[in-house]
């Protein structure tokens, strides 16, 4: 039987995750070889490359110059990526594919592309026919039914190929829930069933559906930033990141590990993926760390944790910031601005544990590796100037798509003053690489739109929010623990972007409400004089409004909030909480969910970034996962700070004060975890460490903060003396 070469598995396959780093690097080399090969050969290589390049250029043009309706933009976006995904993924899980399967995939991809375009074309006619029939049901014609079924079934199949079975199963369950399953569910989960034509219309044309808000995020922002990242890679900016990291970290003890931390932080602005970040920088940094004296599993853990932090690093922050801006209505620049200090805290947390490990195992200050100054200078302008312009434009209020397009143009212009000139060949390489790295995200977000539509249509998000409130019994800490557990479970089978979307839909409103309830509790204790607001509490207790003017006891106020009906709580919060403050709470809740959704990269039992790093380091995967989890504990500390300190929305002096003293608390936590500081610890150090953490993390309390900082400095000084005596 004739066969065609297999397409490499994606690095998100948990079964093969141990060698994901090696496969990703091999795949990248294969992609670049294929591009070079295509430039020297006629059709089909050159023809396919030309189509991909034009598709990439269209993404730039549609966000800067063209004015297609949103549905058309999203339909074209999906049509192109569906065709690419169908042709470049495997139909069956076998090493070789029959020749006919390639032609079947081409036919499959063309059918999906044409169906998506037909759906956009048919919208006006659908509305006209439905209005003519008095709107009794959606008047889909035979072609609309066929096209709709093809795109729904097709996106489920492509998502299965690209990410595994979890998302397809969730999509099928979501559609079944609003079609027929909801009426059989118990209690609050019961939902009315909808006719098939209504479900199809909502799935295709609703703002929450396949070609709605979530897909707009992909077509308008994410793909453009992926293309920008590809331009940075092709122009040599990624080489600059590694070389400058060596310069900065080479003089510190365990400098190779600091190279990993710095380079992964900077590379996070390029790759948009923790696994890709681990694979691209890890092949350099992990051997450096091992040669510097670090244990293999620790070296791999540092790389995995640092690469995960790359998704938290402004200005790009993976895909999460775009989705967050769309869901909350908060400007992208605001999200980026409030994320700078938390991201620095995370990377300094990783740096602290690197320092402690170096001191604990007597790792010296040997030069990490010779610095290639030619590479550093070649990539300097290509990295610094475009990113500087992008950051300025984002913070100044320009749209992300416009900022990305201008940054790409800047990079092309600047490259002609460097050895890595972006001529026609490199332009094609960058445009093609940008599209190829966007395939999974583009298909995934269209599929998640089906889940989003079902959750919104059925009201399941409110049910889940109520469930969190009931299970936590008003305790924000318990609610955070529930969200953390849910993020870990979801992250075992979903990419972190999908995990964040699902979690944010289900839990962010509940967390925002609980954050607001803390302020409402204070008002109930102080007393509410507004008779209009007090009257709303009559639904809870007719005699309650009279008591509210004098104020309730803290216990009674807490019981009132915990026992308040969910619908009433939603109605009362806007009356008692300033709208700007409520927006801050919503942003805080989304940031908490976004940070916690990253933990599946580094938390066993399924931690793909850690497994990728383990494959490069040659260490045991699960031991590496445990090490990565220890190194990345900032993923849990910082969200707690979001919840219990005014870090989000605080004035700059207060923000710097909270973050500055938090560094002492984070260092103390690392010392406690590693049982070592600048030297070995004594027994009396341990209670002092607990006091130091409590004082350092206490928000905006000078006495407690100073006591915590002094306690940490005392431990550092005394442990260093112990090391000198040893």
Residue 316 Cα distances to 63, 272, 305, 443, angstroms: 17, 8, 18, 20
**How would residue 7 be classed by pLDDT, with cut points 50, 70 and 90?**
very low
Shared domain for 50 and 180, answered yes or no, is yes
Q: Which of 309, 694, 684, 708 is nearest to 496 (CA)?
A: 309
* Whether the bond into 600 is cis, omega within 30 of 0: no
pLDDT value of residue 93: 60
Shared domain for 231 and 175, answered yes or no, is no
Three-state secondary structure readout of 174-199: HHHHHHCHHHHCCHHHCCCCCCHHHH
Whether the Cβ atoms of residue 648 and residue 317 lie closer than 8 Å to each other: no
On whether residue 617 sits in a domain, the answer given is no
**How would residue 701 be classed by pLDDT, with cut points 50, 70 and 90?**
very high
Model confidence at 38: pLDDT above 50? no
**How would residue 211 be classed by pLDDT, with cut points 50, 70 and 90?**
very high
On whether residue 632 sits in a domain, the answer given is no
CA gyration radius, the chain: 27
Shared domain for 434 and 318, answered yes or no, is yes
Shared domain for 276 and 401, answered yes or no, is yes
pLDDT value of residue 22: 39
pLDDT value of residue 82: 94
Model confidence at 270: pLDDT above 70? no
**Which of 65-74, 122-131, 234-243, 408-417 is predicted least confidently?**
234-243
Shared domain for 169 and 229, answered yes or no, is no
What gap in Å lies between CA 313 and CA 318, rounded to an integer?
8
On whether residue 348 sits in a domain, the answer given is yes
Q: Decide which of 406, 441, 476 is a domain's last residue.
A: 441
Stretch 193-214: mean pLDDT:
90
Q: Which of 203, 185, 163 is nearest to 492 (CA)?
A: 163
**This prediction's pTM:** 0.74
Stretch 129-140: mean pLDDT:
81
What's the pLDDT tens digit per position in 239-263? 777 777 777 666 677 777 787 787 7
Owning domain of residue 127: 3-204
What gap in Å lies between CA 302 and CA 305, rounded to an integer?
5
Q: Please, what is the average pLDDT of the chain?
A: 81
pLDDT value of residue 549: 77
Residue appearing with tokens 């608390």: 665
Shared domain for 516 and 579, answered yes or no, is yes
* Whether the bond into 512 is cis, omega within 30 of 0: no
Which tokens in the block code for residue 481? 């623990």
Q: Decide which of 601, 633, 650 is a domain's last residue.
A: 601
- Cα angle vertex 470, ends 465, 476, to 5°? 75
On whether residue 384 sits in a domain, the answer given is yes
pLDDT above 90 as % of the chain: 26
What secondary structure does DSSP assign to 309-337, as a single string? Answer: HGGGSTTT-TTHHHHHHHHH---HHHHHH
Shared domain for 391 and 532, answered yes or no, is no
**Which of 244-258, 281-295, 314-328 is predicted least confidently?**
244-258
What's the pLDDT tens digit per position in 514-565? 888 888 888 888 888 777 777 777 777 777 777 777 788 888 888 888 777 7
Most confident of 271-285, 296-310, 368-382: 296-310
**Which of 94-103, 339-348, 601-610, 679-688 is predicted least confidently?**
94-103
Shared domain for 125 and 273, answered yes or no, is no
On whether residue 620 sits in a domain, the answer given is no
On whether residue 635 sits in a domain, the answer given is no
Under DSSP, the state recorded for 678 is S
What's the pLDDT tens digit per position in 456-508? 888 777 777 777 777 887 788 888 988 888 887 776 656 677 778 888 888 88
Torsion of CA 265, 14, 221, 82, to 10 degrees: 150
What gap in Å lies between CA 429 and CA 408, rounded to an integer?
14
What's the pLDDT tens digit per position in 330-339? 888 888 889 9
What gap in Å lies between CA 219 and CA 578, rounded to an integer?
34
Query: How many C-beta atoms surround the C-beta of residue 322 within 10 A?
Result: 26
Q: Decide which of 566, 583, 601 is a domain's last residue.
A: 601
On whether residue 543 sits in a domain, the answer given is yes
What's the pLDDT tens digit per position in 658-693? 999 999 999 999 999 889 998 889 999 999 999 999
What's the pLDDT tens digit per position in 361-393? 888 655 556 666 677 777 778 888 888 888 788
pLDDT above 70 as % of the chain: 86
What gap in Å lies between CA 27 and CA 25, rounded to an integer?
5
Shared domain for 119 and 250, answered yes or no, is no
Model confidence at 15: pLDDT above 50? no
Shared domain for 393 and 260, answered yes or no, is yes
Stretch 217-246: mean pLDDT:
80
**How would residue 605 be classed by pLDDT, with cut points 50, 70 and 90?**
low
What gap in Å lies between CA 295 and CA 306, rounded to an integer?
16
The structural domain count of the chain equals 4
Shared domain for 315 and 248, answered yes or no, is yes
Model confidence at 11: pLDDT above 60? no
Shared domain for 18 and 162, answered yes or no, is yes
On whether residue 454 sits in a domain, the answer given is no
Burial 668-684 (b: 16+ CB within 10 A, else e): bbbbbebebbbbebeee
Model confidence at 177: pLDDT above 80? yes
């Amino acid at each position: 039987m004739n066969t065609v070469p297999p397409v490499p598995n994606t690095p998100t396959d948990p079964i093969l995750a141990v060698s994901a780093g090696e496969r990703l690097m091999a795949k990248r080399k294969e992609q670049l070889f294929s591009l070079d090969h295509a430039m020297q050969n006629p059709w089909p290589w050159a023809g396919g490359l030309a189509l991909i390049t034009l598709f990439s250029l269209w993404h730039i043009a549609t966000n800067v110059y063209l004015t297609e309706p949103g549905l058309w933009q999203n339909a074209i976006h999906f049509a192109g990526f569906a065709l690419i995904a169908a042709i470049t993924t495997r139909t069956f899980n076998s090493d070789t594919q029959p020749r006919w399967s390639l032609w079947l995939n081409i036919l499959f991809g063309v059918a999906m592309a044409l169906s998506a375009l037909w759906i956009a074309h048919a919208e006006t006619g659908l509305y006209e026919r439905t209005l003519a029939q008095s709107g009794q049901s959606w008047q889909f014609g035979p072609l609309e039914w066929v096209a709709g079924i093809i795109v729904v079934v097709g996106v489920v199949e492509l998502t299965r190929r690209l990410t595994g079975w979890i998302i397809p199963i969730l999509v099928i369950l979501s559609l079944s829930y609003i079609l027929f399953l909801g009426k059989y569910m118990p209690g609050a989960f019961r939902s009315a069933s909808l006719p098939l034509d209504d479900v199809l219309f909502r799935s295709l044309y609703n703002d929450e559906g396949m070609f709605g808000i979530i897909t707009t995020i992909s077509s308008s922002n994410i793909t453009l930033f992926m293309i920008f990242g590809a331009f940075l890679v092709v122009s040599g900016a990624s080489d600059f990141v590694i070389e400058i990291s060596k310069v900065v970290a080479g003089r510190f003890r365990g400098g190779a590990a600091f190279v990993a931390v710095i380079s992964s932080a900077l590379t996070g602005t390029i790759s948009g993926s923790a696994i890709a970040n681990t694979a691209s920088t890890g092949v350099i940094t992990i051997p450096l760390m091992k040669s510097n004296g670090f244990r293999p599993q620790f070296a791999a853990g540092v790389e995995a944790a640092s690469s995960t932090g790359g998704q938290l690093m402004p200005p790009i922050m993976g895909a999460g910031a775009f989705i967050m801006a769309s869901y909350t209505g908060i400007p992208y620049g605001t999200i980026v601005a409030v994320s700078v200090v938390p991201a620095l805290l995370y990377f300094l947390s990783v740096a602290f544990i690197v320092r402690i490990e170096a001191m604990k195992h007597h790792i010296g200050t040997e030069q990490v590796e010779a610095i290639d100054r030619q590479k550093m200078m070649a990539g300097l302008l290509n990295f610094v100037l475009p990113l500087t312009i992008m950051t300025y434009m984002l913070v100044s209020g320009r749209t992300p798509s416009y900022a990305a397009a201008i940054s790409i143009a800047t990079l092309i212009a600047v490259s002609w003053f460097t050895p890595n000139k972006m001529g026609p060949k490199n332009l094609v390489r960058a445009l093609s690489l940008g599209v190829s790295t966007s395939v999974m995200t583009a298909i995934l977000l269209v599929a998640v739109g089906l889940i989003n539509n079902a959750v919104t249509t059925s009201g399941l998000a409110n049910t889940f929010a109520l469930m969190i409130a009931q299970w936590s019994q008003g305790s924000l800490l318990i609610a955070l623990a529930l969200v953390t557990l849910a993020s870990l479970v979801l992250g075992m089978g979903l990419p972190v972007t999908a995990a964040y979307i699902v979690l944010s839909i289900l839990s962010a409103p509940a967390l925002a409400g609980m954050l607001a309830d803390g302020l409402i509790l204070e008002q109930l204790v102080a007393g509410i004089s507004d008779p209009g607001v007090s009257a709303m509490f009559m639904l809870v207790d007719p005699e309650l409004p009279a008591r509210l003017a004098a104020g309730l006891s803290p216990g009674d106020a807490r019981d009132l909030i915990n026992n308040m009906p969910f619908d009433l709580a939603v109605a009362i919060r806007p009356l008692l909480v300033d709208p700007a403050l409520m927006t801050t709470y919503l942003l805080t809740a989304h940031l908490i969910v976004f940070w916690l959704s990253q933990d599946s990269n580094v938390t066993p039992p399924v931690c793909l970034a850690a497994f990728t790093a383990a494959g490069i380091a040659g260490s045991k995967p699960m031991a590496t996962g445990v090490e990565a989890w220890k190194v990345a504990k900032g993923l849990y500390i910082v969200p707690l700070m979001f919840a219990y300190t005014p870090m989000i929305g605080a004035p700059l002096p207060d923000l710097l004060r909270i973050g500055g003293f938090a560094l002492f608390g984070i260092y103390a936590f690392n010392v406690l975890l590693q049982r070592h500081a600048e030297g070995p610890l004594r027994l009396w150090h341990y209670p002092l460490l607990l006091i130091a953490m409590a004082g350092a993390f206490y928000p905006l309390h000078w006495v407690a903060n100073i006591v915590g900082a002094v306690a940490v400095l005392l431990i550092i000084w005394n442990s260093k003396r112990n090391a000198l005596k040893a």
